[in-house]
Amino acid sequence: MSTFSGLNTGLSSLYASRRALELAGQNISNVNTEGYSRQRLDLQSVGGPVTSALHATYDGVGNGVMVAGVDRLRDMFLEARALTERGTAAGLAGDRVLLGRVEAVLAEPGDAGISRQLADFWDGWDDVANNPDSLAARSQLLERAQTLAEGLNGAVQALDAQYDASHQELAATVLDINAVAVGVADFNRAIVSATRAGLSPNDLLDKRDVLVQRLAEMAGATVKHGDAGSVDVFLGGTALVTGTTTCPLQVSGTGGTPPGSDAVAVVWAGAADASGPQAAVGGAAGSLLKGLNDVLPRYRAQLTDVAERVRTQVDAVHDAQAFDQQGAPGEHFFVITDGRLVVNVSDPARIAASASPGTDGTGDRGGTKAAQLAELSSAKGGADELYRRTVVALGVEAQAAGRRVEIQDDILAQVDAAREAESGVSLDEEMTNLLAFQKAYEGAARFISAIDQVLDTLINRTGVVGR
């Protein structure tokens, strides 16, 4: 063992301690950086040779310490679960938002909702039944009928507008998914290159993991770790990213007329229609697909059923067996034109409220038919009952979606807390590390000073007597 080897041992300690201090400072600097994972030095002792040289043996205690690398503290199992939970949370949140928008369209309960308009419409028939000769009552009935028709048509149009907006949002989300997937592939290329060159790719790994989390939220992606730090990203069982290559997605189907008649799907690029290879997307994109193919078409169909039920209920009474003020047979009170409910009667006198044309041909001025129509508000299987079932079903579905979001948020918070405990930066811990490595640095410096004094004595004082 060389007399000067102690200097090298002390130098290795100084170098390792300085690196540890710098790394602690790096962790502290990035305590608020999104996606940053704390890092630790991998320190290894440098021992003596295990094979003796010719005519010599090593009797030293070691050659100090070496920095073998910088470890990135992450639990792969927690990271995989976090991706799954984030995708689920994003999908449930999208469901809740969409159902909330449908609730806003119906505006129930409230004075401006369709239920109030239905009640006013039937009350208008009751007013005409009590005053069949009143032009004011008849005119008011037509105004209320027009309000009801506009309310139903407006709700359907609002759902159609929401459908178009969701379709555009899905297209934009798919473009984002493709762009982020390309970003992950680019990071894979850089990480593999850095790893094979013997460099630390930890910062690149952090940035790539942020993109992978975005893919999980947007599409419910999962990952599989490959060689040299690369990852493959999957949607279902099909790879979206394989190393440095990607397979882009596209939206298939336009929704048709009415919306929902042509199924919308997210397919792999090259598929001509929804019958091609579909991507098993979850997360936000999966929620949008559910809204386009189920939620919005379903509630739109229920509203059109309410409008059709109003038309058939009224026309079943306001027909050839009912008579207006002139004794003429009644006509269709409502008609459906281009999917819209339209009031067909424009003249208040043409409202058929009487059950008889009258003996003098001028009508009996009775309100029998109007009274019969007023009673339809409580008819079993009528428009009011159908609409109430729609509102109740929407409320239950929206409430259930809200509960699922709350539960999933709690689950995600627990997973994130576990991840934070593993990979997050603790200022208290880093301050402790700073003190520990500062003392280690001071100790290494003192060790070198001691070796220097030993060498000084050996070189300058050996053989000198009396001094």
Closest CA to 83 of 420, 431, 405, 412: 412
pLDDT of residue 258: 64
68: region left, alpha or beta (phi > 0 left; psi from -120 to 50 alpha)? alpha
Helical H segments across 107-134, by residue range: 114-130
pTM value?
Answer: 0.83
Could you read off the pLDDT of 115-125 as tens digits, one per residue? 898 889 888 88
Residue 360 in this model has a pLDDT that exceeds 60: no
Q: What is the DSSP string of 95-112?
A: HHHHHHHHHHHHT-SSTT
- Same domain (yes/no): 211, 195: yes
- Same domain (yes/no): 288, 142: yes
Q: Can you give the pLDDT at residue 43? A: 85
Q: What percent of the chain has pLDDT over 70?
A: 90
Q: Which domain holds residue 20?
A: 1-73+447-459
pLDDT at residue 413 is higher than 60: yes
pLDDT given at position 272? 47
Report the pLDDT value the prediction gives residue 1, as an integer from 0 to 100: 52
Q: Given this model, what pLDDT does residue 359 score? A: 54
Residues 239 and 364 in one domain: yes
| Same domain, residue pair 19 and 116 | no
Do 133 and 15 lie in one domain? The reply is no
Q: How confident is the model over 190-211, as pLDDT tens digits?
A: 999 998 988 888 889 889 999 9
CB burial class (10 A; 0-12, 13-18, 19+) of residue 392?
A: exposed
Convert the pLDDT of each residue in 46-74 to its tens digit: 877 666 666 666 666 778 888 888 888 88
pLDDT, the chain, mean:
85
- What's at 5, amino acid-wise? S
Q: How does residue 229 score in pLDDT terms, banded at 50, 70 and 90?
A: confident
User: Cα separation of 266 and 286, whole Å?
Assistant: 9
How crowded is residue 211: how many other Cβ atoms within 10 Å of its Cβ? 21
Residues 171 and 119 both lie in one domain: yes
Is residue 103 domain-shared with residue 215, that is, in the same domain?
yes
Same domain, 148 and 275: yes
On whether both 51 and 85 belong to a single domain, the answer is no
- pLDDT of residue 179 exceeding 90: yes
**How many structural domains are present in the chain?**
2
Count Cβ atoms below 10 Å from residue 158 Cβ, excluding itself: 17
The reported pLDDT for the residue numbered 466 is 56
The stretch 168-192 carries a mean pLDDT of: 94
Q: Evaluate whether residue 421 is within a structural domain.
A: no
Cis peptide before 109, with omega less than 30 degrees from 0?
yes
